[in-house]
Structure 1
């Protein structure tokens, strides 16, 4: 029983940290944390105080909670091992500059995707659904579709079962019966297409990235308003995104080889 409670505490702690991270550096309130996590106020407050004591969270003068220096230190150490954001920054900037819309790099985190990088192009109207720190179920958005499609069918089934309740609650327009058609389309084209199923008029394309052992680790994504990603432009940008993803894969593989 104690091991179960311990696992629950770890899970709740990470829920709190992700809620704070979703504030993108701006202080968040206790009410915001409870809303994002579904935790009771006393539980959330107790976890926040413990995280503050460890230096993982700080409370700002304006009464907002932000990630603390210990969190930054852990991130620096992790980046030395993976370095994905640093390697992907060039391609993401180049894609945004060339297409004029927003480009992203996200990584896979078990049954979810986590956005690490965003770069905006020059086109004045932008979609703001995806920001650094945004965590979505696999299969949501262009990059999520691409990552999901890169898994084998048994793993896809496990993923869809694990995230079914979350998707039904937060993404009701991304219908479960459409998942497999999105996967089939992505496997045929080489890139995933989100036609505004997450937020109306926010469309996206995504191309998956694998590590040197062939496992899905992330995706490059382009997002724009719907009028900017109609079929003709999909056919232009999709293959370009696939080429960028392949080039980024080679860089990641080379970095992994040097570490090993």
Structure 2
């Protein structure tokens, strides 16, 4: 997928925090595989001494581990924080059942992605039984809103002012990494999604890898994520778009009810 988005925080004095998060995201992007110092430096576009200094600090705090043979990994403190965060949100547990059900129904790959301001992060992937799969989206993949079927659905669910802010915030990243996901590409997809109720990606990220997605909202009607499927293009032509788009919308509505119930229970 290339480099993850690496933006310096606009908050004065927060540059070190922003750089530290860049390093953690670069490590996390390899989905449990070890990464080298050179890899992190390339992904973050930070200098080698800066990355080395940040890694030393993160290792001292247990946020990063290092293996002589395999390189750097997320450490046990990251896992502990993730467990605590999951107790607050619980989305991976709640969303895993519908994602698995969708994958079984369509035979292709199904996903739940979480909104993170102007980006989405894939949390769950389940593969169906069709032997040819698309591998663009994996747990941990971070994409600008509007990229991919689920990203289109999330972007379209924002109000117009939010859409403009999102497109402005992601313009440089999309110009660099997603040449077929520019403002002029995304706005027609937003209009289509609003008309249909679900977003369609016709291979904008990787040619031949198509997707369909539906937005998921919380109790306050805020966009929190999406359910989506991805497949090779021959598996997502209009007939199957019309079959599985509404299915995703139904599953998203059911998931919203589960999430809202969980939110009320935690009060």
**Pair in the same fold by TM > 0.5:** yes
Q: How does 1:143-222 map to 2 (within 5 A)?
A: 143-222=150-229
Q: Which whole-Å CA distance do the structure 1 matches of 2:69 and 2:130 have between them?
A: 35
Q: Which whole-Å CA distance do the structure 2 matches of 1:105 and 1:118 have between them?
A: 7
Q: Report the Cα offset of residue 6 of structure 1.
A: 3.5
Match of 1:6 in 2: 13
Which of 97, 100, 110 in structure 2 is aligned with 1:93?
100
Match of 2:75 in 1: 68
Q: Report the Cα offset of residue 176 of structure 1.
A: 2.3
Q: Report the Cα offset of residue 194 of structure 1.
A: 0.3
Q: How does 1:38-53 map to 2 (within 5 A)?
A: 38-53=45-60
Q: Report the Cα offset of residue 79 of structure 1.
A: 0.5
Range with greater deviation from structure 2 (31-40 or 215-224): 31-40
Q: Report the Cα offset of residue 4 of structure 1.
A: 5.8
Q: Which whole-Å CA distance do the structure 2 matches of 1:4 and 1:167 have between them?
A: 22
Deviation per residue, 1:92-135 (Å, 9 max, x gap): 01101111000000000001000000001111111111000000
In the alignment, is residue 136 of structure 1 matched against residue 143 of structure 2? yes
- Identify unmatched segments of 5+ residues in structure 2: 1-9
Range with greater deviation from structure 2 (58-67 or 84-93): 58-67
Q: Which whole-Å CA distance do the structure 2 matches of 1:62 and 1:216 have between them?
A: 42
Q: Which whole-Å CA distance do the structure 1 matches of 2:170 and 2:142 have between them?
A: 12
- C-alpha contact 2:226 2:252 (8 A) present in aligned 1: yes
- Residue 66 of structure 1 aligns to a residue whose secondary structure is strand
Q: Report the Cα offset of residue 251 of structure 1.
A: 0.3
- Identify unmatched segments of 5+ residues in structure 1: none
- Residue 26 of structure 1 aligns to a residue whose secondary structure is coil
Aligned length: 258
CA RMSD after TM alignment: 1.1
Q: Which whole-Å CA distance do the structure 2 matches of 1:137 and 1:130 have between them?
A: 13
Q: Which whole-Å CA distance do the structure 2 matches of 1:4 and 1:249 have between them?
A: 33
Q: TM-score, normalised by structure 2?
A: 0.95
Which of 239, 245, 251 in structure 2 is aligned with 1:232?
239
Q: Which whole-Å CA distance do the structure 1 matches of 2:129 and 2:266 have between them?
A: 37
Match of 2:6 in 1: none
Q: Which whole-Å CA distance do the structure 1 matches of 2:197 and 2:131 have between them?
A: 28
